[in-house]
Structure formats: structure tokens, C-alpha cells
Amino acid sequence: MSNGSTPPASRRRARTFRPAPTAPAVLAVLAALGCAGCGALGGGTASEGGSGPDRPAAAGQHTPKAGPDDDTASKDGSRERGTAAGGGPLKGKVVVIDPGHNPTNRDHTAEIARQVDVGNARKECDTTGTSTDAGYAEADFTLDVARRARTLLRKEGVRVVFTQDGDKPYGPCVDERAEIGNTAHADAAISIHADGAGAGNRGFHVIRPGVVHAGGADTRKITGPSRDLADHIVGRFVAATGSAPANYINDGKGLDTRTDLGGLNLSRVPKVFLECGNMRDAQDAAHLTDPAWRQKAAAGIAEGLTGFLRR
């Protein structure tokens, strides 16, 4: 759940519940977005064996810290040296992945409550995120999916930078997360989340930056390419996971536009937020806690990003 990503209670109460789109509706989304060639990276079930930073955590289990070969961002936003991406077709491209929240934010409530400037407002540095009713934390989910996506992107030659990899005591703050993408001169950036809406609200959605020109925020140059990136992510995510666009956001289109998220407002590179599903809905939670489904989600993210990079 991104900082402020779930609409206020007054807006949620105004919604009328609509069932998740049927299979024909999902296919219509793919057709509308021209999702030819979806599944190029594959979304099969991941092996649960092995070791290292890409090994998935079991549902409800704290995600282990990153290994020494990870390309994470240092405190000032610069990239630390790690294992370079291979010589794939997208060598030279840089993607920043922002795993939403931090597993140990819960131990630093005072620090994450600090207000930071997001251009048109001041917001909390970060939040703890949400969880399933059984206690599987959003922050553990986002790290697991992000690491799986990183593995797939590296095979294509992409250099992947993380905003955090379980290696920071809390945060980083939303303004720092945006700056990491800016400093890396990323070709694309994505913030991975899961929503905390009411039960019965199902599906995923992608949040695009709206036009903000205030204080240190100026999204005017990135709104167009960010919309293109969002379209790629929506189409590939549908194809890879079989999930339907959210039935509680923007009439089931899988897309939303926001001007109140610091990670988007302060970005100078094409960027979107992805809410992979609703952790508070039992059916969505069953997917989010399933390692095989998380591998499919990672494939959808990686395919959306590589499709955007190849355009």
C-alpha cells in the first residue's frame, strides 16, 4: 500500500461493489493495450530451493537481507557497485525498482512519521504498509517480488537498482526513493506495492503520475512516458498472472492517476506504482501469499518494463 494509495474512507464508501471482470473483460484489456508477445520472459513456478537474495520468503516469513552481489542505492542515492548485468539485448538500460515500505519500518515509527516535502504537500517519510489478515506483510511481499523481477531483468541485460533491499533500518523516505531513480538516470522506475482496501475489492492497478508543478516537483516531462509505461505494465501483468484489473478503481481499467504520491511527484524519470492486489481480500491474499503466483507477478512486471524499454 503506497503512502496514501488507498483512497480516503469517504471515497471508498461512495463506491458500489462491482464483481471482478470476467475472462472476456481481461482479454479486452489485453486487446486494447496491444499486448502482443506477452509472456516473453516466462512466468512459471519458481524453484523453492537454492540460496541467495532471489530465494523467495515463505508467506508470513521475514525476507532475508540482500547478498553482496546486489545493486542497491546508497544513502545519497548513488549506485553501489555490484554484479553487473549480463550482455543481454537491453544492456545499458537502467531500471530502478522500489520495493514498497520496509520490513523494519514497524520498529521505527517515529522516524517514518517525519514529514517530508513532496512538492505540492508534506507527507510522512514512509509507512509500515499493510498485511494480509493472516499477518503476511506487504513489505515482505514487495521485496520478494522485486527480487524475482530483478533476476528476470538481469537476464535481459538490464542494470537494476533497488531503493532498498532489506538493508536499511527503515525507509528510505518517499522523497529519497524518487531521488534514487533520478540520480541513477533510470530509463524506467517502478514502485511495487499491494493494497489494503476492504474485503470484496479485488484486482491490481497501476498508478500514473498526474501533472504536478509545485515546489521541487515537476512531472510535466514524465507524464507522457509514464502513461506508456503504465500501459505496458497493465497488459503484461494481466497476461502473466491472469489477474483482473481492480474492480474498485477507475471502472476496472487497471489504471489510476495520482498527484499526491511523493515517489511520483518528485520523479524526473518515467515511473509508476503497481498495486499487485488487495491483501485484505481473501481471494487476492491467496495469490499474494503463493510463491508461484509471485513469480508470475514478477514476470509481468519484467515483461512490462522490457516492453517499454524496447519501444
Indicate which residues carry an active-site annotation. Answer: 275
- Quick check: helix, strand or coil at residue 288? helix
- Quick check: helix, strand or coil at residue 254? coil
**155-183: burial string, b at 16+ Cβ within 10 Å, e else:** bbbbbbbbbbbbebebbbbbbbbbbbbbb
Nearest residue to 310 (alpha-carbon basis) of 149, 145, 95, 28 = 95
- Of the chain, the end-to-end C-alpha distance in Å amounts to 29
Grid cell 503484461 — which residue? 236
Helices in the chain by DSSP H: which ranges? 9-14, 23-32, 109-112, 138-155, 174-183, 223-241, 262-265, 282-288, 291-310
